[in-house]
Structure 1
Amino acid sequence: MRCNLPWFSRNAMAMGAVALSVGVLAACSGGGSSSPSAGASAPADTGPITIGASLSLTPPSGNFTADGKAFERGYQLWAKDVNAHGGLLGRQVVLKILDNQSSPNQVVTDYQTLISTDHVDLTFGPFSSLLTTPASMVAAHNGYAFIEGAGGAPAVFDAASNQADHNTFDVSLPVEDTIMPFVDYIAQLPKSTRDGLTAAYPMASDPFADPPVQLAEQKLSALKVRTVSFSGIPNPFQEVPASYPVAAAAVAAVHPDIVVLGSTDVPTVQAFMKVFEQKNYTPKMFIAASGPDQGAAFTSAVGAGNAAGVMVPDGWYPGFRNSASQAMVSEYVKLHGGSASGVNADVAEAYSVGQVTAAAIKATGGTDNTKIIQYLHSGATIQTVQGPVQFNSLGENVAAAAFVFQWQDNGTKFVQVLPQGSQNGSVSILATKPAWAVTTTG
């Protein structure tokens, strides 16, 4: 449970609202809806259960195509497994997936089509908080539960529709909490060591990248880790490639011991590392919100030797010690080839969405969206390939696991280092980042 961690996100205490009565939850879930219990399933239904989703499957509008395709595979693998075992309540599952091309406008159109024209029974979410927020508003307006796996930014849960209807449920780790294992690690250092540390928190202007960095700064400052300011640029900085080297140079000029980077992709991290190397500045500890988790795409961009010591958070990895996860990974490799280490975390997020939905259908005896919303707010714990799922009143998974990974052995191994302890599957953390290798980044 996340409540066992020394730090809480700004919404963790909302778990107390689970004590709300079923009647109140029903009122909340239906209050903003234009049609009651849309997609509801009559007891006599024997036809397929249709589930609609909109994913980023083709260019050119956005950058989420790879993630969207991985999500599609995760959804499809879950449906395949369910149908192979007789379906849900004796009914086969049919997926209807539309292509939003990473466009917020198109994702709205897609969910309007899925609900009002195609009359799907249930909806799954898209990839990214950027697309989840507008999509969840459509679902709320029509009285649908909106179960998703990649919309964990605070903006998703703070959306007016979710505040009113409480219909959004993210099965994955809340974005804001992803860097907390690193904060816990710093908290466990001797006070004499911790008090002398300095840190900088550069971040791209992005709803995914910023919240974990902002929370890390708040918590590390409370631990007497001194924030060092860098001048000459706004922070968050503009999320365009031209701004990355300028921001990186400003950070390098103040030489912080720790850099917590609010990055969205490999190019952001690559640009910072290149400038740091050019300025002969190596932070003692370097953790980025996103990018270093992209395997060969990351090491080939920055140079394997330079990757050594770099850390990144995530909520799942292919070696996760969970029997359901291991079975899913094995089946995925058989279907799509490659190796276990190449299975994208998006696949597990999507598969978990299906598992939570299946649990709700079985518990409520059908696909009535109002009943599913009530059940998911009941405090029930559901087991998934990502671990336990339990929702607070805002739809955040307060039981989600959080991990931090690090490149080690001269950038040839990507290993889990936090939380500490072999019982968690972790290896010893490389406490000080090695100096930049001869290989030049970028």
Structure 2
Amino acid sequence: MAAAIVATAAFALGSPAQAQSGEPIKIGFGMALTGPLAANGKQALLGMQIWEDQINKKGGLLGRPVKLVYYDDQTNPSTVPGLYTKLLDVDKVDLVVGPYATNMIAPSMPVIMQKGKVYISLFGLAVNSEFNYPKYFSMIPTGQNTKPSFTEGFFDVAAKNKLGTVALVAADAEFSRNACEGARENAKKFNMKIVYDRTYPPATTDFTPIVRAIQAANPDAVVVCSYPLDSVGMVRAVNEIGFKPKMIGGAMVGLQATVFKTQLGPLLNGIINYETWVPSKHFLNPEVEAFLKEYQSRAKAAGVDPLGYYLGTWGYAYVELLGKAVEGAKSLNDDKIAKYLRTHTIPTIMGPIKFGKNGEWAESGMMQVQYKGIKGNDIDQFRGMDVQTVVAPAKLATGEAVVPFEKLR
């Protein structure tokens, strides 16, 4: 307790502030503040703003204050190149970080590469596999085996339960295609036969025909690679038609956000899906607890996710990572910052981060969790680990998966 109190005080007050002088160091980015990804983008922004406040209380970076300069990308990939061109050519920002999500990060890459900027992205899946840009760094714990990492734990559980067939369904968009490509690799690795493999248009709103088509293929397991609104639609359709595969989930973005958890409530029970962080004993530390206390005290006024587990923490950590690289390199020079990121393990509130090939994490930290015992739509049940169990990987597991998932319905 004493250690936690000291850490909380240090988080809130920082080290004694140094005198700041000169123009602010401007960090520019786009963020999904409207559109389907806004629930996650807004909590990431609040995390970033908390870092901005904290770093300025400590004296800023290199003796200069820090200012975040950002625009709403509207969850629309077509807006992104223009936003980053404006940030660099008109706003003259000193540094940039990525927007949130693969579909928004990918179209920004040509602009960033042309300008030669160091670039830390937020939750981009295998974005740099096509660009091979040496100053790119990914803030997502997918490790070196990026595409399969989202569903590897899902297939591991399926194999342990001797499931033989799998259906794959994905939105026809950058992230979902990448995740589904990884799922195909996992199916081969775990010797599971693919009996259904289809994509659907991103604008799809009625998922009942898709679920019925999957049901007709009679798979043991179903891997869904989807974005938030799709994930909600898919969960509802599965429940409405009474589809009962032995396992379902995998790579459904959105189910990690409190707004969707409370909206779906018991409909989530039994689903096994990816996670990047959970409030288990393995991950809770005084720094992240202090951050969450600050975030949650500001969340209601900011109109954002009240818990901040999914993107609030990571939003803070990815600009924290940039700030520590600037301090370590003692420079705003993009080449020097990139070299520091490549050659150092950097402590953050989310733990130490070390990068490997192509700017991806040296080691994976991806998990699969299973929802259980959710009752009603009350938010408090989602604050701890009572209604979810980490089922993979084994080193992070908090319990065993229940298969078939219908046992938890």
Q: Fold-level match, TM-score > 0.5?
A: yes
Deviations 1:246-279 (A, max 9, x none): 221111012211111112124445345535652x
The equivalent residue for 2:307 is 342
Q: 2:399 aligns with which of 401, 421, 427?
A: 427
Q: CA deviation at 1:348?
A: 1.8
Q: 2:188 aligns with which of 209, 221, 238?
A: 221
Q: How many residues align?
A: 372
Q: CA deviation at 1:46?
A: 4.9
The equivalent residue for 2:12 is none
The equivalent residue for 1:395 is 359
Write the distance in 1 (CA, Å) between the matches of 2:329 and 2:408: 56
Q: Normalising by the residue count of structure 2, what TM-score does the alignment of the two structures yield?
A: 0.81
Q: 2:348 aligns with which of 366, 377, 384?
A: 384
Change over 3 Å in CA distance of 1:292–1:118 after alignment to 2: closer
Write the distance in 1 (CA, Å) between the matches of 2:315 and 2:274: 18
Q: 1:283 aligns with which of 213, 227, 245?
A: 245
Residue aligned with 1:227, SS: strand
Q: CA deviation at 1:298?
A: 4.1
Q: CA deviation at 1:425?
A: 5.9
Q: CA deviation at 1:335?
A: 2.4
The equivalent residue for 1:405 is 369
The equivalent residue for 1:315 is 276
1:121 aligns with 2:94: yes
| Residue pair 2:247, 2:404 contacting (<8 A) in 1 also | yes
Change over 3 Å in CA distance of 1:100–1:198 after alignment to 2: closer
Residue aligned with 2:59, SS: coil
Residue aligned with 1:262, SS: strand
Write the distance in 2 (CA, Å) between the matches of 1:122 and 1:296: 32
1:148 aligns with 2:121: yes
The equivalent residue for 1:3 is none
1:104 aligns with 2:77: yes
* Aligned residue runs from structure 1 range 194-233, under 5 A: 194=162, 197-229=164-196
Write the distance in 1 (CA, Å) between the matches of 2:286 and 2:309: 17
1:178 aligns with 2:187: no
Residue aligned with 2:222, SS: strand
The equivalent residue for 1:32 is none
Counterpart code for 2:368 = V
Deviations 1:359-385 (A, max 9, x none): 21122111111111122222x222223
Q: CA deviation at 1:395?
A: 1.4
Q: CA deviation at 1:314?
A: 1.7
* Aligned residue runs from structure 1 range 245-256, under 5 A: 245-256=208-219
The equivalent residue for 1:7 is none
Residue aligned with 2:88, SS: helix
| Residue pair 1:49, 1:91 contacting (<8 A) in 2 also | yes
Change over 3 Å in CA distance of 1:271–1:335 after alignment to 2: closer
The equivalent residue for 2:3 is none
| Residue pair 2:154, 2:273 contacting (<8 A) in 1 also | no
The equivalent residue for 1:415 is 388
Q: CA deviation at 1:242?
A: 5.1
Deviations 1:222-254 (A, max 9, x none): 322222237xxxx12222335622221111012
Write the distance in 1 (CA, Å) between the matches of 2:33 and 2:205: 27
Change over 3 Å in CA distance of 1:260–1:425 after alignment to 2: closer
Change over 3 Å in CA distance of 1:399–1:358 after alignment to 2: farther
How high is the sequence identity, in percent, across the aligned residues?
A: 24
Write the distance in 2 (CA, Å) between the matches of 1:109 and 1:266: 26
Counterpart code for 2:324 = A
Residue aligned with 1:383, SS: strand
Write the distance in 2 (CA, Å) between the matches of 1:82 and 1:357: 12
Change over 3 Å in CA distance of 1:406–1:341 after alignment to 2: farther
1:157 aligns with 2:131: no
Write the distance in 1 (CA, Å) between the matches of 2:237 and 2:296: 35
Residue aligned with 1:107, SS: helix
Residue aligned with 1:309, SS: coil
| Residue pair 1:299, 1:307 contacting (<8 A) in 2 also | no
| Residue pair 1:51, 1:122 contacting (<8 A) in 2 also | yes
* Aligned residue runs from structure 1 range 1-40, under 5 A: none
Change over 3 Å in CA distance of 1:299–1:48 after alignment to 2: closer
Write the distance in 1 (CA, Å) between the matches of 2:185 and 2:226: 18
Residue aligned with 2:110, SS: helix
Write the distance in 2 (CA, Å) between the matches of 1:242 and 1:134: 25
Q: 1:332 aligns with which of 277, 281, 295?
A: 295
Write the distance in 2 (CA, Å) between the matches of 1:385 and 1:198: 40
Q: Normalising by the residue count of structure 1, what TM-score does the alignment of the two structures yield?
A: 0.76
1:169 aligns with 2:140: no
Counterpart code for 1:73 = L
Change over 3 Å in CA distance of 1:140–1:267 after alignment to 2: closer
Task: Flag structure 1 segments of 5+ consecutive residues without an equivalent.
Answer: 1-43, 438-442
- Output the aligned Cα RMSD: 2.9
Write the distance in 2 (CA, Å) between the matches of 1:179 and 1:255: 20
Write the distance in 1 (CA, Å) between the matches of 2:352 and 2:216: 43
The equivalent residue for 2:260 is 297
1:357 aligns with 2:325: no
| Residue pair 1:318, 1:329 contacting (<8 A) in 2 also | no
Write the distance in 2 (CA, Å) between the matches of 1:229 and 1:313: 21
Residue aligned with 2:61, SS: coil
Q: CA deviation at 1:332?
A: 0.8
Deviations 1:210-233 (A, max 9, x none): 323332332233322222237xxx
| Residue pair 2:372, 2:408 contacting (<8 A) in 1 also | no
